[in-house]
Structures are given as structure tokens and as C-alpha cells.
Amino acid sequence: MIFSFFHRRKKKTSKEAPQLFTDLHSHLIPGIDDGSQSMDESIALLKGIAELGYRKVITTPHIMSDSYKNTPHIIQTGLQALRKTAVNEEIDLRIDAAAEYYLDDGFLKLLEAGEMLSINGEYLLFETSYMSKPLQTEEMIFEISSAGYIPLMAHPERYRYIRDPLKEYGRFKELGVFFQVNLNSFGGHYGKSAKTLANFLRREGMIDFLGSDIHHQKQVESLGIVLQSEVYREIYENNIIQNNQL
């Protein structure tokens, strides 16, 4: 049933893939996580993103209870400084911010407090451990939905605990999870496993959003290559990509 469900979503398109105007996953606010470490670096990354044709970025700093203890205030303060500098540099990009939440012991406390940084007030971007699926993953996804958000899983292709893709990804979809795949996974930037799973998701029509997940300049360069590749066009053969609706 899972197989037929996803194939009903497939939609053939023309050979020309649309331009992505909005990116919803990046780490561009300087000095608050493992992304950009300086304003100069952030500006260089923004210029590179603009050159690729993007018009809007929703940057998403990590929030992790044991390492990146970011708050809405920290992120919004950093966003305002980044916006001001980008204007001074005449960078033609709209810059917004949300967050990438790690499903750890502190996540539910943040959700209960009600001060979440979501994408367009609708999608809550989250990630898990790469190596092992958290024991309460389904419960936390349920709580995200109960709080009124659409759960949006960051880079599902990068989780090494996925052993039966159709079954495990299918279960996430049954729980109402949307998938954001990193474009650079299609170019092998994160290794063979991530590339294989990204292409599985592409073929099965499970991708809802595409993200850059940019942390540094090398990823901007890789992104430009992927956006010009045949596999980028092929993504749109079976998937309805919603970036430009944001």
C-alpha cells in the first residue's frame, strides 16, 4: 500500500526544471552554530547563493540542548545584523530565519514552552542523530503535529539507521512528515549512502522540499553543479517541490 500511495503522487513535468527561488535550510548567521563563523563569510555565502538565482533564504541555525543552545532572541538578533550587512553590501536577497531542531531530551520542553521558530509559521524543521533513531521519535513527531506544525524532516537521506527505505520512510509519511532533501546529496557531497537514499526518495516521489544546507563555500560551489545537472531535472519528474511557495 505504501508503494502505491507514493506513486499516486507522481506528476510528470516538462524537461525544463523550474528555477528554485527559495532555500529553506542553511547556516548563515555567523558564530552561533557550525555554519558561518564570521560576517565576512556569511556575506560571501549570500553572494554565492544570489548568483545561483535564489531570491529568498530562510536560514536555520541548529538548536541542540548539549551544544548549540540557541534561542529565538539569539537567532533574531543575529538575523537583524545579517540583514543590515546584506543591505549595505547590496545583496538582492530576502533573508528570514527559522531553526533546525535536534530531537533530543530538551526538544519537548522547547515545544511545550511555545517559542518555536518555524518556517512560515507552518513547518517545523527537525533532525535526528545520524547513526541511531531516537526511541521517542514517533512520539515527538506526534507532539509537533499536536502543536499545530507540519513536521519537516531535514535531510532524511543522511540518516544511516535507515535500513528498509520503503518501509521506514513510508512510516514517516504515514505520520504526516514532510521531507527536505539536501541538493548536494545528489552530487555525492555526503557520501555514497546519502546519494543512494536521495535518489531512492527522488524515484519514489517522496521529496517535498529541496535544501542547500549551506555551511561553507565549498557547498555553494557543489550546489551550483547539482543545479545544472540532469538529476536536478529528474527530481521534478516524480516529486512536487514546494520551495517556491514559501
Q: What is the mean pLDDT of residues 203-208?
A: 98
In order of 12, 32, 38, 51, 167, the CA distances from 244 in angstroms are 18, 27, 29, 17, 29
Instruction: Give tens-digit pLDDT for 226-243.
Output: 999 999 999 999 999 999
Q: Per-residue b/e over 184-223, b at no fewer than 16 CB within 10 Å? A: bbbbebbeeebbebbbebbbbbbbbbbbbbbbeeebbebb
pLDDT (0 to 100) of residue 7:
46
How far, in Å, CA of 87 to CA of 54, rounded?
A: 16
Instruction: Give tens-digit pLDDT for 105-157.
Output: 899 999 999 989 999 999 999 999 999 998 899 999 999 999 999 999 999 99
In order of 138, 142, 203, the CA distances from 10 in angstroms are 26, 26, 9
**Domain 2-9+19-240 architecture:** Alpha-Beta Barrel (3.20)
Q: Residue ranges of the domains in the chain?
A: 2-9+19-240
Mean pLDDT in the chain? 94
Instruction: Give tens-digit pLDDT for 74-104.
Output: 999 999 999 999 999 999 999 999 999 999 9
pLDDT (0 to 100) of residue 13:
42
Widest CA span in the chain: 54
pLDDT (0 to 100) of residue 16:
81
Answer whether residue 189 shows pLDDT above 80: yes
Instruction: Give tens-digit pLDDT for 3-55.
Output: 444 444 444 444 589 999 999 999 999 999 999 999 999 999 999 999 999 99
pLDDT (0 to 100) of residue 15:
59
Predicted TM-score (pTM) of this structure: 0.93
How far, in Å, CA of 88 to CA of 139, rounded?
A: 45
Q: What is the mean pLDDT of residues 204-213?
A: 98
